[in-house]
Amino acid sequence: MTQSDLRLFGSPISSYYNKIKIALIEFDLAFEEIPFMPGAGKWPESGSPIGKIPFLRHGAGQAYESQAIVEYLEDIRPEGVLSLFPESPLERARCRELIQYIELYIDGSARAIYPAAYWGKPLDQALLTSACEGVEKGLLALERRASLASWMCGEQFTHADAAAWVHLTTVRRAMQNVGKTGFLEQRLPALADYLERLAQRPSVQRTEFDRRNEARRIRDQAASSAKS
């Protein structure tokens, strides 16, 4: 089995898919992207144990859940390629901690408004209030624990930065779509410059380019279906 046998299943509009994709690009690992929607396939022949995306196949083996996949990529990264975790054990723990704040509190809280923000469903004001409170709690944790002057864990780009880009930009777009433009930056002003630095990273640029193309394709397909 070689590193070129890597196949990433999912969709470029998935934040968790894109977190893995950034790691694959950063590690210079050859991989194939396989379009796959949530609930597709049938376990164990295909799909994931609970029908989620993304998941990774490496030869005949599989890995599921985005953070477990990122940790697996760490284990198989080419010789000489730097880890995307900090060197110190305590800083590695902080990196994982920051990913948890972003995914559990910020993205996790905002997901309640994603159907309204991205799919045109009615917006429940109580859900919006609750989502805003949860996101604000997560941003406060980042303010207390992240080093946003350069990268999230200091001078080195890490997996926490990949998670920050894919999730924070998704939450920012969702907030804007429901009338809360600038919500994140107003509560954590350092985010504006930090996200601008992230936008210049080649792995982020490639991932974001693919995400936008896929989002455009889905919008065009939906518009075409509505006309027919």
Same domain, 196 and 117: yes
Number of domains the chain is built from: 2
Assigned domain for 13 exists: yes
Same domain, 70 and 119: no
- Mean of pLDDT values over 54-81: 96
Task: Give how far the C-alpha of residue 71 lies from the chain's centroid of Cα atoms, to the nearest Å.
Answer: 15
Return the pLDDT at 228: 67
H-type alpha helices, the chain = 15-26, 66-76, 89-100, 108-110, 114-119, 125-145, 159-177, 183-187, 191-199, 202-227
Same domain, 93 and 17: no
Domain of residue 66 covers 3-76
| Domain finish residue from 52, 76, 100 | 76
Lowest mean pLDDT among 32-46, 92-106, 152-166: 32-46
Above 60 in pLDDT, residue 2? Answer: no
Same domain, 15 and 67: yes
- Its pTM stands at 0.95
Same domain, 43 and 8: yes
Same domain, 180 and 113: yes
Assigned domain for 227 exists: no
Assigned domain for 224 exists: no
Assigned domain for 24 exists: yes
The residue with greater pLDDT, 1 or 23, is 23
Above 70 in pLDDT, residue 165? Answer: yes
pLDDT, one tens digit per residue, over 4-37 is 699 999 999 999 999 999 999 999 999 999 999 9
| Angle at CA of residue 117, ends 111 and 119, nearest 5° | 100
Same domain, 177 and 67: no
Return the pLDDT at 3: 56
Assigned domain for 228 exists: no
CA distances to 61, 82, 127, 224 from 218, in Å: 31, 36, 26, 10
What CATH number is associated with residue 93? 1.20.1050.10
| Domain finish residue from 20, 49, 76 | 76
Assigned domain for 225 exists: no
- Residue 194 to residue 204: CA distance in whole angstroms: 13
Assigned domain for 194 exists: yes
Q: What percent of the chain has pLDDT over 90?
A: 88
Banded pLDDT at 1 (limits 50, 70, 90): very low
Same domain, 96 and 191: yes
Above 70 in pLDDT, residue 67? Answer: yes
pLDDT, one tens digit per residue, over 126-162 is 999 999 999 999 999 999 999 999 999 999 999 999 9
The residue with greater pLDDT, 46 or 81, is 81
Structure tokens at 30: 């050859």
Identify residue 187 by its one-letter amino acid code.
Answer: R
Banded pLDDT at 81 (limits 50, 70, 90): very high
- Mean of pLDDT values over 58-69: 96
Confirm if 142 and 188 have CB atoms less than 8 A apart. Answer: yes
Return the pLDDT at 135: 98
pLDDT, one tens digit per residue, over 205-223 is 999 999 999 999 988 887 7
| Domain finish residue from 76, 106, 131 | 76
Assigned domain for 83 exists: no
